A and B are shown apart, each in its own frame.
Chain A
Amino acid sequence: MAKKAKSRTIPVRLISMAMTGYYRTMIRPRAHRPLSMLKYDPVVKKKVLFLEATKGGKAK
């Protein structure tokens, strides 16, 4: 029996590098490189770097 097809896009979690525990969830194409962007963190009230959290600890 054929396996269920994987979806083209995946939801990922972008974690604030200010260590506040704040994160944003985004959707990116599965084949794309990991997301990273400058975003506002309401806990420290500043624009900080958000990096995509790897699920199994394996980065692309």
Chain B
Amino acid sequence: MSAASSAVGNLPTRLRNFFARYPPQKYSALVAPQPTPREASQAEGTEAAEKSLPSPYTPNRDAKGTPKPDLEKYSFSRALLHNDPNFPNPFLPQKIFRTGKWKGPRYGLREQADLVKLAQKYNVEPLLPPGPKSTPYKAARLSERGLAIKGTGIGQKVKGHKWERTMEARLEDRRKAMMEMPEMIRLWKQRGHGRGWRQWPKR
């Protein structure tokens, strides 16, 4: 117990205040019910596979590419964001059912990010409530969505514009031509400034 209390004493004031206000016994991600990732991802995977599989007989333009993510659908990352109505998660918005209105999170995304970074520094991140800035949520969402930037994955590349694709070769040509330029000019002057020139370029 003394070790724990000393560890708490080592925490910065900001984190200590947060934990005093939202004790980890009630609010942290540790006590939140954990969704099972395997079942969820399997269910989602088969569903997505069925959706994206185009019929070979009816050419369907909408079947091209990956289906758009359904925001209403169950997903593992969303299930991670547990919100107990008795202990409202300060990192998530709350719906007030009496009025039907939404109340924003107690901590904005920037403050959440600050807290998560601080907690990571002191190795107490699991004691924070689950939120959109937490490491497990980000990892789960990344695995669901994949990288948003095209061409950044392993073995991927983007085609690019033609001028980008051919730039290297063109610069190399130019460099070679400029290397030979003094010799060319010398020859040209020697041959009567073009009178005896034979190799005219083609248009």
Contacts and interface: CB of A to CB of B under 8 A. Distances in A.
A8 interface: no
Interface residues of B, number: 19
B40 interface: no
B202 A36 contact: no
Contact of A38 (B178, B185, B197): B185
Interface residues of A, number: 24
Interface of A: 13, 15, 17-20, 33-38, 43-44, 46, 48-49, 51-55, 57, 59
Interface string B58-93: 000000000000000000000000000000000000
B203 A53 contact: yes
B200 A48 contact: no
25 contacts: A15-B201, A17-B184, A18-B177, A19-B173, A19-B176, A19-B177, A20-B174, A33-B195, A36-B188, A37-B193, A37-B194, A38-B185, A44-B174, A49-B188, A51-B197, A52-B200, A53-B200, A53-B201, A54-B200, A54-B201, A54-B202, A54-B203, A55-B203, A59-B198, A59-B200
Q: Is the interface of A mostly helix, strand, loop or mixed?
A: loop
Interface of B: 170, 173-174, 176-178, 181, 184-185, 188, 193-195, 197-198, 200-203
B203 A18 contact: no
Contacts of B195: 33
A60 B198 CA distance: 9
Which 9 pairs between the two chains have the least Cβ-Cβ distance?
Answer: A36-B194, A53-B203, A19-B177, A59-B200, A19-B173, A54-B200, A57-B202, A19-B174, A18-B177
